[in-house]
Amino acid sequence: KEISYIHAEGYPAAEMKHGPIALVDPLTPSVFLIPKDAVYEKVILNLEEIKARKGQIIAVVSQGDDRVHNLADEIIELPECPDFLHPIIASIPLQLLAYHIALFRGCDVDKPRNLAKSVTVE
């Protein structure tokens, strides 16, 4: 949001049918973080629903996840790691994605508008 000026929100896999699915169209990509965890199968179902609606999918996955390769339009592979490290490792390509989207849109990534230089604690 801050450098690309695009409204973006994260949702748990179980919430896809409760609102976000209505936003799916061919021009609005969905970005998925897909570790092989307890909700992996639910995420696969979400990917299938998005593809049925002709939505674009960018997936951040662990290396060798062939099921997602068959569904996603773009894949960002992460090295295998313990589950607790996945969010930290996944943040790096997501930050790069935001950076490159901002550059593509012509945004000044060094001086985002309306960004406070300090935080005020009330």
DSSP notation for 7-33: ------GGGTTTTGGGG-BTTB-EEEE
**Residue 76 backbone phi and psi in degrees, to 5:** -120, 115
What is the tens place of the pLDDT at every residue in 60-118? 998 988 899 999 999 999 998 888 888 899 999 999 999 999 999 898 888 877 776 66
What is the tens place of the pLDDT at every residue in 5-44? 788 888 888 888 888 888 899 998 999 999 888 889 999 9
What domains does the chain contain, in order, with CATH numbers?
A: 13-83 (3.40.50.10490)
Distance (Å, rounded) from C-alpha 122 to C-alpha 106?
Answer: 35
Helix and strand numbers (H, E) in the chain are: 3, 3
Other beta carbons within 10 Å of 24: 20
Q: Which residue has the tokens 């209505």?
A: 22
